[in-house]
Structure 1
Amino acid sequence: MTAVDRRRLPAPTRRHRAPRLTAARRWAARFSAGLGLLVVLVALLVAPAGPASAHAVLVSSSPAASAVVPTAPVEVVLTFSEPVRKVTDKIRVIAPDGSRADRGEPRFEGGVVTVPVAQDAGQGTYLLSYRVISADSHPVSGAFTYSVGAPSTPPSDAGADSRADPVVDTAVKVSRYLGYTGLLLLVGAALVLAALWPARLSRVGPARLAWTGLGLLAFATVGAILLQVPYTAGGGLFDVSGEGLSSVLASPFGTTHLVRLGLLAAAAFLLRPLLAGQAGRTDVIIVAVLGAATLFTWPLSGHSAASPAPAVSVTVDAVHLGSMAVWLGGLVMLAVFLLRRADERELGAILPIWSRWAALAVAALLLAGTVQALIEVGTVEALLTTTYGQLVIAKVVLFTLVIAVAAYSRQLVRRQIAAQQPTRVRRAIVAELVVTAVVLGVTAVLVQTPPARTAATDGVGAEQGYFNTTLTSSIYSLQVELFPARRGSNTVHLYAYTPDNQPLPVEEWRLTAALPSAGIEPIQFPLLPLTDNHATSEVNLPAAGDWQFSFTLRTTEIDQATVTAAVTVK
């Protein structure tokens, strides 16, 4: 309902203050809440800060996928679009004879993963499979082959199943759904009891609803932590090890969920007097602050924290979630309690005030949802062709249906029919809640789906070109990768090796590109060293054609050589 009526509650429906808690009990409750806030603040300060960026995608590898190299490399280098974290024993290299060819633990340096490889595993085709965790706490997995000397029948690896367990995936979605449900039950009950509840009505039912919401929210949070172990590692529902749990708790995902539990515990001390109508103004303010802080734990552990604009995404996502909780939680309170128990005079005062709140919540939902969709989807093509975009469309359609039902309720309030015939309003509210229950289900699936901007980029990369070659000089061998080999922005990765295929530290890198057929003189591009023997650059090629690339590497004070390559850019 979205009607706006500025009438105030009549005196009979205003909440008469119940006897206050004793000063000692109020002080103890506030001290407990403050202690909880202090614990949360310490957790935030000691938690490792992670950089925010897009959902992780493997952008290049050395050797490249399907490449044939003359000699066995001493290491395989994987370069992702963002920093990634390790999943134990989930990066594996299988030799042509089916044996393990990786040696030792992979090295993780931001988005670059270096895997030591044995050089005595023979010639033929090797299989590399990987599973890592991206900045938004979602696992990223895949596999590719490369060959030494000549291709052979690709090996298989029975121990490297990187597929997500469907039971675990479903359990994660159910956990999120329960968390959303608990949040709206808690917020709706607390808000209505604090501001709109008639003094003559019993608070027992709404208070039980609030405690149920708090319990659901805490249960879902603990469940999310436990489920994150098999979700990221790729195991079954009960594959929760101590090492895996420690890894999750030390991650940003685990930290934000522990913070949420701390905030809920702090709020619980002040929730009882608030639900009983005995809380003072200070207590209400503290609960509101704790609630607002709790809302931020959802976006900080998901896609929003890893978006191109993390500060904006986290804020609008928290606003979106809070508005949902106020609107739907209030509707539950109206349908279950107020429209059944309040008399005509009380409803005549309550409904217009609630309608104004609902209007603000819906407006915030629309604004925050629009901003978040623009950030996460990016393009019309991504909206139409990716799973994430299609889920956004489904959510918009369902939300439009909810707004249509709310408009009907609004008319009932404007015509002053709602207070006289509460059954009609209750039916409309039940219809809103049924549709929004489906919306929450879509949302639970949406937050587990890679953002459309990532899926679209990955799909385009598969269709566009990919240039890969190895250039040699008297002092080094240089592997060159360029993607997508099209006019416009391209990514270049360079890997330097000694003549006997050992990683070669480079002191200075230089890159130029020219297109003589179009009269474009050599353009120099800066290179960013990622490791001693690996550098990358973003090059903007303004025209299609056969570009002449020149690479100059200085390995010592006196050793330097230049190699060139012709690259066809479409």
Structure 2
Amino acid sequence: MIAAKALPDCCKPLVSGLVMFITVLLLLLVSAGGASAHAQLVASDPADGAVLVAAPRQIVLTFSEPVDPLVFRLSDPVGQMEMLPVVRSDTTRLVVTLPSGLVPGTHSLSWRVTSADGHPIGGGLLFSVGKASATGPSLASATDPVTAAGLWASRLFAMTGLVIGVGGAGWAALLFRPCHLRGHAVSGGSSLIALSLWLGIAATPVWIAFQGFDALGEAPGGWMSAAVWSAGLTATAYGRAALVGAAAMVAALVSLRVRHVRLRLGLSGLAFALAGLAAAMAGHAATAPPRLATVPAIVLHMLAAMAWIGGLLPLLAALGGSSRPSPDRAALLLFSRLIPFVLAVLVGSGLLLAVVQVQTLSNLWATAYGQVLLAKLAIVSLLVLLAAVNRFLWTRPASKGSPHALHLLRRSILAEVVLGTLVLAVLGLWRFTPPPRALASSFPLVQERQVAEQGLMATLSITPAWTGPVRVSLRDLMLDGHSIDPLSVTVELDNPANGIGPFTREARRGGDGAFQADGFVLPVGGVWNARVTVLVDDFTSVTMTSRFDIAAP
């Protein structure tokens, strides 16, 4: 009620209409049903690194969440590559049919799938037929560096068009109209808003193309390839979100050229709603449970960001310049009254999403996602500080025409525009950093590794694969293809990155014949080295090594 009283009468129908439209939009989004987290490969048959007597007919990949297959490539011991067909046995299991007549040696399977949150993920596994090759095929990296840079840059331009362009067009429609102005145009602000919209629209097809390269796991090239554009548009949710975002920018661009007041307000309102929908269509947060809370939070966070950062250029134009030294007092005061409500929505929705995604305070500095969030919060804190200084120190004297206050306010607003763009640049890094929520919910309970050294082979596993008490097991222990009964087995774990360990425990044979070492407590996540020393006889000791990725749920 307080916010409604602060609005002029000519703007109240617009606000009521937008509230109704956004409410219906949120209901539609929430009713779309549940979705899953960032998927991870939890098991494969054969296991990664397995040495097989005979060539397998197929490889079964099991993921933590439903996935859609993209590309599967098989490389043989001499480096020849072949594309493989995939059959889905259920939503989380993919069956890869292997060609007949695989030659002896080490083969690699590189795979790319799309998880429910719209992100392409990739990986690979090695298996050997007969015996391992001296130099086996290498596994391709998950994302090409040029593709990653192109994704980040094109997304930045598109997001700038949405936040600064669409947000600016909305404020231009609200502020620069007869009930607030007295007959003058603000061409400078509109020109910058239009420029950001044109750049965002132009960046959209580039963003879609890079999505295609990323989905296929390819370096940029073949820009006219139908496979690249098909993958960019349909393989991930980001392609569809980009199209909706482009529609929002087109509607906003048209609104800047329309003179009819109601049509201009309607177009800018439609642009806002489409931008909110685009934000909720893809990304880590879009699939985070409970969606009844997270999806509306995403939409509100996006709308609030556009209302704040997007309003800066129109506000700068309303302050006047050399051609019009007197500020538009009504526009300045209206912006000042509304922004506290916008910031409340921005902070509240952002806090909810941060709690859902990060889960524990330690994940802020222990994970890449948390570190990006900290960088964002640092920049936003500067923005809030500048906004507070603007509101409580300079707005009122500037509205009365104080030249000194107007000068300081203009400089501060320009700084806010730069900082707001920097926030968008930092947030682009989230495209490559799964949140702790996704890592914790999708990390496998058990991790297994095939280890071998000097003719000694075994399967090494760690349970569970996250911080806290864990058990290390060694089974299928064989020397030169024959089972052995060693004199002792010792397990050692350490985390060199954090200077932790090594921890050493004796392994004892269990009822199932496997050697088990208990008593390990892993305090932090990350990469842990495992060394297993097997005393084969009084004169022979063999140490096998492997690495495990431990999550910090």
Q: TM exceeds 0.5? A: yes
1:103, 1:117 within 8 Å by CA — same for their partners in 2?
A: no
TM (normalized to structure 1)? 0.67
Matched-pair contact (CA < 8 Å) for 2:288–2:356: yes
For residues 131 and 80 of structure 1, what CA distance do their matches in structure 2 show?
12
- Listed one character per residue, the Cα deviations across residues 91-116 of structure 1 (whole Å, up to 9, x for unaligned) are 2334446556x785122342322112
Sort the Cα spacing of 1:96 and 1:226 in 2 relative to 1 into closer, same or farther, 3 A: closer
Q: How far apart are residue 354 of structure 1 and its match?
A: 0.8
Query: Which residue matches 2:152?
Result: 173
TM-fit CA distance, 1:399? 1.0
How far apart, CA to CA, are the structure 2 residues paired with 1:465 and 1:83? 19
For residues 106 and 397 of structure 1, the distance between their equivalents in structure 2, rounded to whole angstroms, comes to: 45
Deviations 1:344-375 (A, max 9, x none): 5742x332321122112211111111111122
C-alpha separation in 1, matches of 2:447 and 2:156: 41
Counterpart of 2:86 (choices 106, 111, 119) is 106
| 1:246 matches 2:230 | yes
Alignment CA distance shift 1:423-1:269 (3 Å) = closer
Contact 1:253–1:301 under 8 Å retained in 2: yes
Name which of 383, 386, 390 aligns with 1:409. 390
Counterpart residue number, 1:450: 434
Q: Deviations over 1:18-46 (max 9, x none)?
A: xxxxxxxxxxxxxxxxxxx9xxx9xx99x
1:484 is matched with which residue? Answer: 464
Cα 1:396–1:486 change in 2 (3 A) is closer
Q: CA deviation at 1:130?
A: 1.9
Partner in structure 2 of residue 185 of structure 1 = 165
Alignment of 1:244-393 (within 5 A): 244-251=228-235, 252-265=237-250, 271-273=256-258, 276=259, 278-280=260-262, 284-285=265-266, 287-340=268-321, 346-347=328-329, 349-393=330-374
Tell me the TM-score normalised to structure 2 length: 0.69
Find the partner of 1:208 among 171, 181, 191: 191
Q: CA deviation at 1:398?
A: 1.2
CA contact (8 A) 1:145 1:154 kept: no
Per the alignment, residue 139 of structure 1 pairs with: 120
| % same residue | 29
User: 1:319·1:364 contact (CA, 8 Å) conserved in 2?
Assistant: yes
> Deviation string for 1:392-438 (max 9, x for gaps)?
00111111111112221122257645532311211222222222222
Aligned CA distance change for structure 1 residues 60 and 284 (closer, same or farther; 3 Å): same
Secondary structure of 1:164's aligned partner: coil
State the alpha-carbon separation in 1 of the partners of residues 48 and 346 from structure 2. 44
- Whether the aligned pair in 2 keeps the contact of 1:185 and 1:332 (CA below 8 Å) is no
Is the contact between residue 319 and residue 332 of structure 2 (CA under 8 Å) also seen in structure 1? Answer: no
Distance 1:329 1:485, change over 3 A: closer
Bigger strand share: 2
Query: CA 1:149–1:336 in 2, change beyond 3 Å: closer, same or farther?
Result: same
* Residue matched to 2:412: 428
1:396 partner SS: helix
Corresponding residue for residue 496 of structure 1: none
Residue identity in the other structure for 2:191: R
The 5 A counterparts of 1:27-176 are 52-88=35-71, 91-96=72-77, 98=79, 104-108=84-88, 109-118=90-99, 120-157=101-138, 161-176=140-155
Cα 1:448–1:279 change in 2 (3 A) is farther
RMSD of equivalent CA atoms: 4.1
Using a 3 Å threshold, how does the CA distance of structure 1 residues 122 and 166 change in structure 2: closer, same or farther? closer
The Cα offsets for residues 160-193 of structure 1, whole Å up to 9 and x where unpaired, read as 6344222222122111211222221332243234
The structure-2 alpha-carbon separation of the partners of 1:153 and 1:344, relative to structure 1 and needing over 3 Å to count, comes to same
Task: Give distance in 2, aligned partners of 1:93 and 1:7.
Answer: 65
List runs of 5+ in structure 2 lacking aligned partners.
12-20, 451-458, 471-507, 520-553
Greater relative contact order (Cα 8 A, min sep 6): structure 1 or 2?
1
Structure 2 CA distance for partners of 1:230 and 1:486, relative to 1, 3 Å:
closer
Distance 1:291 1:486 in 2: 42
Structure 1 stretches lacking a partner, 5+ long: 16-36, 470-478, 491-544, 550-563
User: More displaced, 374-383 or 319-328?
Assistant: 374-383
Asked if structure 1 preserves the Cα contact closer than 8 Å seen for 2:244 and 2:274, the reply is: no
2:94 is paired with a residue of what secondary structure?
strand
Residue in 2 that maps onto 1:525 = none
Partners in 1 of 2:469 and 2:268 — Cα distance? 49
Range that drifts further, 260-269 or 423-432: 260-269
Provide the C-alpha distance between the structure 1 equivalents of 2:353 and 2:303, rounded to a whole number of angstroms.
14
Q: How many Å separate the matches in 2 of 1:104 and 1:449?
A: 29
